[in-house]
Chains A and B, each alone.
Chain A
Amino acid sequence: MHLHLVGRIVSYVRAEYQAYQLAVFHDLPNLLGAEKPPRIGGFVPDVFAIDAPPSITILGEAKTVEDLETEHSREQLAAFLTFLRLQPSGILVVAVPWQAQARAKNLVAQLQRQLQCAGVRAIVITELAG
């Protein structure tokens, strides 16, 4: 499920931000020699997409229902939001199973309020294409 969700983020970023022709880094195992995302605030995101010169920065993180509720996930998303706050047009894409969509939106919104990251655009997608 996790890999499928990561794949959804990559497809989403490529489709939605096609015009930017972003450099996309991800950790999907099907591409040998693919470049991995960098470590951000102590955590490695599942997807990292950037333009150069920097005009947009996207971090993508896939979470299963069980993952989403852990403290680790909270800290990870907080680190990503804090990083994105300092980037030009920072965007966080979180992919979760459809049943966790509302919970994920609430969690991200709560973190945004706590960390004063309202400027970061947060998008929650699910495993269902569409």
Chain B
Amino acid sequence: MADIGNHETVLVEDIELDKDNPRIRKFLEMYGDNITPEQFYLALGAAGDDESESSASFEKLKNSILTNGGIIQPVILNRRADGTLVCIEGNTRVALYTSFINEKVRGDWTRIPSLVYDHMPREQIDAIRLQIHLVGTRPWDPYSKAKYLHHLRTQEFLSFERIVEFSGGRKKEVVESINAFSDMEQYYRPVLSDDSEFDTRRFSGFVELQKPGIKEAILATGFTLTDFSQWIHDDKLSPLNTVRSLPRILRNQKAREVFVKQDAKAAMKVLDRPDLNKVLSEVGIGALAQALTQAIYALPWRDAERLRSEPASDTAQQLSEAASALAELMTLSESL
């Protein structure tokens, strides 16, 4: 039976970071003795070990600790035979507490909640790391996260700013997530014959529904969000990111008819668009971006004026779609 450890609040200055962890040692050697929390975090990331904070970036982790006034999950320490304490799990969190002390961040960062094991043998250390990093805590699926955000907003009445502070991410994502959950519950659940058909994997379709112009296109062409839910249920919008193409499909009468009879894929074929896969499949995203930039710079003034005066035209909509996709990509790359 393994030692279950004791919960203690331990002086941060008494904790040694686990610089000998074989998985990250080679990365830490590059930084010398004075390792910052960022370097530790980078080393853990570089070693493919994200310390169970999985998707949370370093900044998110830091902000979350600051917002909460401390960590929620204790770090795991091993008390060696000589009484010294080494951090087995939670090195980034310990390093952050140390940096908060050094930077005189408001609050008491001198002690950290810890689960302390005595004289832990190597095998047990490995077992703990394996359990945390290979088995790990099961991350919430996007629907469950949205459900919780919805609860925080509608039951706990937290402001968007507060929710973003707690959960990380961006305000726009929080709004979209809550609205997607709300729409799914309000429109999708009722179209199912029973609750066992409720497929949380369809959630991303409802997130797409929140993007600018989608709902408006559905409602403006005489459909309802119940229709949309039925389309999702009937797999007419598969893969779910084809929801983005709904405005163009629904505005085109022929494509709309094909969509209603068949699905979005068939409807897309009706739209007069080049076969991008054939023509551009060999071109990388960088070259495409360059080509688009050049095309924009070379755009005659009259065409630019037309785009401005006809925001609902196909070209304007395609550019708008590209602008949104590019903005999303840049946001993603900033957060990496």
Residues of A within 8 A of B (CB): 21-23, 25, 35, 38-43, 50, 52-54, 71-72, 75, 79, 82-83, 86
Complex A-B, nearest 4 residue pairs according to Cβ-Cβ distance, in ascending order: A42-B311, A53-B182, A52-B178, A23-B160
6 contacts across the A-B interface (CB closer than 8 A): A23-B174, A25-B171, A25-B172, A40-B212, A42-B312, A82-B216
> With contacts A39-B323, A53-B179, A53-B182 known, is A23 near B216, CB below 8 A?
no
- Residues from chain B with a CB closer than 8 A to the CB of A53 are 150, 153-154, 178-179, 182
- Residues from chain B with a CB closer than 8 A to the CB of A41 are 213, 216, 311-312
- Give the secondary structure class of B's interface: helix
Closest to B216 in A: A86
Bound CA span A54–B320, Å: 24
Q: Report yes or no: A43 in contact with B175, Cβ–Cβ below 8 A.
A: no
- Residues from chain B with a CB closer than 8 A to the CB of A52 are 153, 160, 174-175, 178-179, 182
The residue that A39 contacts in the complex, of B153, B171, B212, with Cβ under 8 A, is B212
Bound CA span A75–B306, Å: 13
Closest to B311 in A: A42
Given contacts A21-B159, A75-B311, 16 further A-B contacts (CB under 8 A): A21-B157, A23-B171, A23-B172, A35-B171, A35-B172, A39-B323, A41-B213, A41-B312, A50-B175, A53-B154, A54-B179, A71-B309, A72-B309, A75-B309, A79-B311, A86-B216
CB of A52 to closest CB in B, whole Å? 4
Q: Report yes or no: A39 in contact with B160, Cβ–Cβ below 8 A.
A: no
- Residues from chain B with a CB closer than 8 A to the CB of A82 are 216
Q: Report yes or no: A86 in contact with B215, Cβ–Cβ below 8 A.
A: yes
CB of A57 to closest CB in B, whole Å? 11
Closest to B211 in A: A38
Q: Report yes or no: B324 in contact with A39, Cβ–Cβ below 8 A.
A: yes
Bound CA span A75–B220, Å: 18
- Residues from chain B with a CB closer than 8 A to the CB of A21 are 157, 159-160
Closest to B215 in A: A86
